[in-house]
Structure 1
Amino acid sequence: MGRDWRKRSRRVGGAVLRRARRGLTAPAPPAPPGPTPQQRQDARIEEALAAVGAVEASEAGLPATTSPVALLALDRVVRRPDLPARLAHLVPASLRGSWEGRAGVRALEAPVAADAVVLAKFDLGSRVKLRAGYAEVGLALAVQPRRADGTSGVTGAARSAEMVNRHVPGLAPTLHAVGTLDGGYDWLVEDWVEGEPLVSDRRLAAHLDPLLERLAELHRGHGVRHARPAEVWGESFLEQWGTVREEGLVSDAVGGAVARLVAADRLLRVSWTHGDLAASNVLLTDSGLVVIDWEHAAERPVMYDGARLHLFAADPARTVGRIRTLWAGGPTRSTYPPEQELALLHARLVCNAPRRLARLAGHPRREIYLRQLTRQTDLLAGLLELPPGPPPTA
């Protein structure tokens, strides 16, 4: 009987081994097909329009409708076929003008009263961020998903609206309403600002001085305090900067120079900042400059905004000179020289690159971000009086 058991065992074992060997070479069963990029974008647009409709139904100051409205969709924009001209700058420059005959345009219907809905350009998650415009009533709507800590971009914008305009009247749009939606979205309604975005670096340069002066007024009104890098960022700065160096995003010379600046632990100026001071967020109106999209606003080193202006400057050297002059700070000046203070904030922004590049893997905007990152690392090297390194390719 023992011999019979061993024979059966060998037969079973051999069969298992043969099946295993076949499995090593047999093709894996095809994975179920996932959604196409177009299907993912359609789902995001559907989510965005549902959120807009829900806000319109709950906020009396906004137009609303229960009937389907004919709309056109292209890329991350949904708009009425006859989009009012006053809302033109809500739409990205590459998608403005007539869409007649344009490839990729889709017709759809939804019960929303907004004239245009635009999804955020780097919004890659399953939740949507958007802005919508209402030409007839002159209002804008922003909807943002709530973060794990219970805040959202709406939190920063709402906090800024009253405070900024108290110190520098007219610098930010007037806020009308703030609320929440089921599903973890926050929203706000504010004035639609009639004006032209300073979308080119040369237009921004032409209005740089009044912009810096108004931001300096904001700093004085809010108050300027001093903090050392270790107080502002803790140990995370050097840890994240170490990752930047390990991934080869900066030269060894720049990497070492920044590490020494951080280690010096001198004083930085800290006040209220916009947080995303790109040229497209600065509008020239009949009454002067207005800065929109305060969703990233917070108290942080003042050169955070300076670094953004420097990054998008037509003449970076002149921009540094104007920042040095108009943000001199008097008794509140930093104990870092202005160029070093600015270099530290560029470095801090570069620390976001490894995470952002990973999130943008496979996304068409990754190359755009790489070009921006190359410019930023070159500007950082220039501020430190060092030659630029090779362009980042991570």
Structure 2
Amino acid sequence: MTPEPHVVPHPSGGRRLRWPELPAPVRVAVEQRLGGRVVDARSAETGFSPGLASVLTTESGVRAFVKAAHVDDGSDGARLHRTEARRTAALPPGLPVPRLLWVHDDDAWVVAAYEPVDGRMPRTPWVPAELDAVLDAAAQLGATDGAELDLPEGPTDLAGLLAGWVRLRDEPDPALGAVAPWAIGRLDELVELAGGAATACAGDALVHGDLRADNVVVTDGGVVVVDWPHASRGAAFFDVVGLLPSVGMQGIRGLSAPLAGPTTPEHRRQVGLTLDGLFRSTPQGAGVDDASVTAVVAGFAALFLDAGRRPPVPAIPRLRAFQRAQGAAAAAWLEVLLDGAR
């Protein structure tokens, strides 16, 4: 049976702040750091911060990718910009990561400037060659020893990975039966499974923590991984598991149709098998025991499904739909893992 076409949420939280909308004193401070008047500002059209995210060019040709957020914009963007700047500065050289240039922080506005990256987001549904390039970049990150880096231990969303099924069991979601009907009678089992995610996530590899198409730039020379506020030390396979639900949601040309909501058992199985096959084909996935990957996939499925049913975030109106869709794809992968039919 051919699945009904799915409407895949756009990888954007909504409207972004534009350069002319920054307060004049902040614009002046930015231009002072850039060394000239800004004559061009090109805004990124993807990503989930409502703050500024633009490539700024001065009259002398100096360019920088600049992020800016107010501490009270309702999105937590200012805190994330501070965190990202610290963690990007802690990364070792040689990785496909833009370099931090400078930070301006006046307690009300946080501005961070990075090397500009000329390129585009991967095409979706995914083109296999571009997906392979992103998986190669994830392999490079996973092979990077993070033991001595000034980064926290464990993923920043660990609490969500551990508690998502608890909340879905104790605060039932009427929509769960539509996207994961198989899960309804197995909630206690899923709570126990996800409880193993903390142990499974442990490690000393460099972890990006939020790898998705909208956090990758395809360039003429390969791919660059951007947006590092969730960087940590953990299991080498964590980023691949975190990436693949968004891949299942967006689809892969010639391999699997997008899965972003309720669908047929056949469609769920096709997507689940595709994601599991991709995972097992990576250097990180090849040596992971079944219990560990099942625990982390279970955690991601519940994290996204539980977050997606929460009230909308006014500053990021598209966020919940994106989370729900990732949850549906992660649940399809988890269903395959639990059936043992790989």
TM-score between both structures, scaled by the size of structure 2 = 0.65
Q: Which protein shows a greater Rg?
A: 1
Counterpart of 1:350 in structure 2 is 305
**Shift in CA distance, 378/190, structure 1 to aligned 2, threshold 3 Å:** same
Q: Quote the residue 2:159 is aligned against.
A: 233
Q: Which residue matches 2:33?
A: 61
**Does the aligned pair in 1 maintain the 2:208–2:239 contact within 8 Å?**
yes
Q: Show the counterpart of 2:214.
A: 280
Give the root-mean-square deviation of aligned CA atoms: 4.3
The question of whether the paired residues in 2 share the 8 Å contact of 1:237 and 1:348 is answered with yes
**Counterpart selection for 1:327 from 270, 281, 284:** 284
Q: Relative to structure 2, which stretch is displaced further, 298-307 or 136-145? A: 298-307
Return 5+ residue gaps in structure 2 as ranges.
Answer: 1-13, 256-270
- TM-fit CA distance, 1:322: 4.6
Q: Distance in 2 between matches of 1:352 and 1:328?
A: 26
- Asked if 1:336 is matched to 2:291, the reply is yes
- Preserved contact between residue 254 and residue 381 of structure 1 (Cα < 8 Å): no
Shift of 1:193: 0.7
1:193 aligns with 117
Aligned-partner Cα distance in 1 for 2:79–2:143: 26
Percentage identity across paired residues of the two chains: 19
Q: Could you say which residue in structure 2 is the equivalent of 1:205? A: 131
Q: 1:299 to 1:144 in 2, by over 3 A?
A: farther
Residues 63 and 197 of structure 1: CA distance in aligned 2, closer, same or farther (over 3 Å) = farther
Amino acid at match of 2:276: V
Give 2:246's aligned amino acid.
F
- 1:378 paired residue among 306, 322, 332: 332
Q: Could you tell me how far apart the structure 1 residues matched to 2:332 and 2:131 are?
A: 19
Which of the pair has the greater relative contact order for Cα pairs under 8 Å at 6+ separation? 2
Question: Which residue number corresponds to residue 115 of structure 1?
Answer: 41
The one-letter code matched in structure 1 to 2:184 is: D
Distance in 1 of aligned mates of 2:184 and 2:225: 37
Residue 53 of structure 2 corresponds to 131
Cα distance in 2 for partners of 1:145, 1:190 equals 18
The 1:354–1:140 alpha-carbon spacing in structure 2 relative to 1, beyond 3 Å, is same
- CA separation of 1:157/1:267 partners in 2, compared to 1, >3 Å: closer, same or farther? same
| Residues 42 and 54 in structure 2, CA contact (< 8 A), matched pair in contact too | yes
Partners of 2:34 and 2:316 lie apart in 1 by 38
Aligned to 1:160: 87
- Residues 165, 247 of structure 1: CA spacing in aligned structure 2 closer, same or farther, 3 A cutoff? farther
Which runs of 5 or more structure 1 residues have no equivalent in the other structure? 1-40, 66-111, 388-394
Q: Tell me, what secondary structure is at the counterpart of 2:33?
A: coil
Map residues 236-255 of structure 1 onto 2, 5 A cutoff: 236-237=163-164, 239-242=166-169, 245-249=172-176, 250=180, 251-253=183-185, 255=187
Greater CA drift, 375-384 or 134-143: 375-384
CA 1:256/1:245 → structure 2, altered by over 3 Å: closer, same or farther?
A: farther
Q: How far has the Cα of 1:174 moved from its partner?
A: 0.9
